[in-house]
Amino acid sequence: MTPQEKALYHQIHPLKLFTDISVEVISLYLFWKRKFFAGLIVMFLPPILASLLIMRWVDLESYKQSAFGGYLRTYMTSFAVTLRVLGTIVTHVGAWYHRPLLMPPGYGLILVGWLRGLLWPKEPAERKG
């Protein structure tokens, strides 16, 4: 498996998903409390460590061969990743400035990044490329 494939398929490993979701909650709390550097450390360090460990030690072939792997191959483009990152930024800006109304749009962007293939599926001919 190539490094690019590992970078793609590790995103759906349960440990990676658990890490990303957990640190989102904790870092939002820290941003709300105006603990900027602690929030940044929590936001970045555990997900990076989880990614490195999973990509190095976990056999991701079963993820590649799964239906979810096929979905990622087709729909997890740089645009989808950008939407997810932008959503995280929006939620953290909302936490920093104590604007909870920014949370739903931020989470919406994250969800659109993950679910855009369900929301706007490609035609069968487009999927092959």
Question: Are 127 and 74 within 8 A, CB to CB?
Answer: yes
Convert the pLDDT of each residue in 83-100 to its tens digit.
Answer: 999 999 999 999 999 999
Torsion angle, alpha carbons of 66, 71, 77, 83, to 10: -110
Question: Are 106 and 88 within 8 A, CB to CB?
Answer: yes
3-state helix, strand, coil in the chain (%, to 5): 85, 0, 15
| CA–CA gap between residue 105 and residue 88 (Å, rounded) | 10
Q: Considering the entire predicted model, what is its pTM?
A: 0.90
Percent of the chain with pLDDT over 90: 94
Q: Is the pLDDT of residue 103 over 70?
A: yes
